[in-house]
Amino acid sequence: MMSINTQPNNPLHGITLKMVVTALYNHYGWEGLAKQVNVNCFKNEPSIKSALTFLRKTEWARLEVEQLYLRTFA
């Protein structure tokens, strides 16, 4: 059986990508988020759904967003 603490050193453990994007959007807004992470999903007709679709396919962008989340809320 898997232990609950399978990733004790992962600060994002238990936090979904949707939670990350939503928190950043609530904090920065789309315009501010686009200034922090230069990707079109935050610039052109942004939505949580479109951002999640893009970030799930694009590892480098997802990593940038996760790092921004950690810098902002850690």
CA distances from 6 to 9, 14, 66 (A): 9, 11, 19
CATH C-level class of 17-73: mainly alpha
Q: What is the pLDDT of residues 3-53, one digit of tens each?
A: 455 666 888 888 999 999 999 999 999 999 999 999 999 999 999 999 999
State pTM to two decimals.
Answer: 0.86
Tell whether the model's pLDDT for residue 1 goes beyond 50: no
Distance CA 56, CA 64 (A): 12
Contacts of 61 (CB under 8 A, 6+ apart): 37, 39, 41, 54, 55
Distance CA 30, CA 22 (A): 10
Length of the chain, please?
74
